[in-house]
Amino acid sequence: RVAAMMLVAPQSLLSALVQPHSVRVPKQLPRSRPRMSVAAGPTRFVNPLDVDGFAEPGGWRGTGADDAMPMLYFLPGMDGSLSTPFMQYPELSTSFELACMTHCDGLDSRASFEELTAACAAEISASARSGRQILLVGESFGATLAIAVAHRLRNMQEVRGLVLVNPATSYERSALARFGPICASLQGPLLYPLYLLSLVGFAALVLT
């Protein structure tokens, strides 16, 4: 069932994902209410166009209500960053109301996979029960999480599609499976230097 769901995605979304550097930013986008879910668990959902780092001075949106628009739930990679698809947010917001997952505790989060799955499923099912159509998008670690969430919500007809971007489905065969639990056990002052070092290493890999 999940494989079938993966085939259902609006063409506008697929175009934005396949051609990220040719996204056209409209002059006016539909108005949406600021979205920030009440954090009752390890995650919360925000509209990235309404939070620091993505907000446009004067606002992104023009006029019009979006209660009838489908919801796009985005589950990011392991670090919880919403920056990867930032070029697509304005275009996607013309067709969807955006709701992106963030970790309530940031890099200090130690929520289990099951806890994240349950929290995301609860948030999405609440929107589905209100009649909103749902498109679920996951990137990297978020893609594996999206598969689990979609499976849990498989009987909800409102969940119309599942898009997996660079899914980390080979995790168990990777070096991260061996070293990840060790890194996850680090806390306090040991964690942030390791994170910065990983960013430097990634930049060196890309630029050389």
Q: Report pTM.
A: 0.66
pLDDT in tens, 126-143: 999 999 999 999 999 999
Task: Please give the average per-residue pLDDT across 176-187, as a whole number.
Answer: 72
Q: Which residue has the higher pLDDT, 3 or 160?
A: 160
Task: Please give the average per-residue pLDDT across 165-174, as a whole number.
Answer: 84
pLDDT in tens, 40-97: 678 899 998 887 556 565 555 543 346 778 999 999 998 888 888 888 888 888 899 9
pLDDT of residue 174: 77
Q: In this structure, what token pair is assigned to residue 141?
A: 């670690």
Query: Hey, where are the domains in the chain?
Result: 2-169, 173-208
pLDDT of residue 64: 39
pLDDT in tens, 189-202: 766 777 777 778 76
Alpha-helix runs per DSSP H in 57-140: 89-92, 113-129
pLDDT of residue 58: 54
What are the φ and ψ backbone dihedral angles of 31, each rounded to 5 degrees?
A: -70, 140
- The dihedral formed by the CA atoms of 45, 22, 168 and 163, expressed in degrees to the nearest 10: 60
pLDDT of residue 104: 85
pLDDT in tens, 7-45: 444 444 444 443 443 334 344 444 444 455 544 678 899
Distance CA 118, CA 202 (A): 31
CATH number of 2-169: 3.40.50
